[in-house]
Structure 1
Amino acid sequence: MSLTYIAEIDLKADCFDQACRAVAEIVPATRGEAGCERFDPHPAADGSPRLYIYERWTNRAAFDQHHAQDYTRKVFKNYEDWLAAPVRLTELANGLA
């Protein structure tokens, strides 16, 4: 059974562009990972310095493996300076239809 998450990432306004570029840079590698079904980052439509990532993984091991990758760890290390609040990760239930 796949696992689906939405990550909500509140960034400092002066770090928003840099953070978006960093996340965009890891998209191809992330999508190429075994177990990645979706990895889609989106900025907030209201113009706030918030980034959402919709992601779906084949299982928890694939999700955990993604977070063990050097490129993912590098982004999380940078988050220490970029974040305005802790990342909120919401797991979604399977679809209704």
Structure 2
Amino acid sequence: MSPFYLFAEISPKPEHFEEARDAVMSIVQQTRDEPGCERFDLFENEAEHRLYLFEEWRDQADLDAHYEKPYTAEVFSKYENWLLRAPAVSKMQKRA
């Protein structure tokens, strides 16, 4: 499989915005160091209480391995109570 990109919009409840942001920040470097992770960048819109992840992965197996890491599972577990809704994730391929 060719490399692909993920763009995720994360919508924490306003009272959990900082905790949600800090949780993602705590795994940024670990994720970047994972095999197959080419990019893992966090952006935020504090005024609207939104977080955005832009990721690039070598293949689906590498992303699946990322989801199985204990630190990733911990963030997902915390998000169960912190989010307004499930993250909106778009998977994209680069063309040209």
Quickly name the TM-score band, shorter chain normalised. Answer: over 0.9
How far is 1:24 from its partner?
Answer: 0.3
Unpaired runs of 5+ in structure 2?
none
Question: CA RMSD for the aligned pairs?
Answer: 1.1
How far is 1:47 from its partner?
Answer: 1.4
Unpaired runs of 5+ in structure 1?
none
Ranges of 4+ aligned residues in structure 1 off by more than 2 Å? none
Where does residue 48 of structure 1 map in the other structure?
48
Where does residue 87 of structure 1 map in the other structure?
87
- In the TM superposition, 1:5-84 aligns within 5 A as 5-44=6-45, 47-84=47-84
Structure-1-length-normalised TM-score: 0.93
Structure-2-length-normalised TM-score: 0.94
How far is 1:93 from its partner?
Answer: 2.4
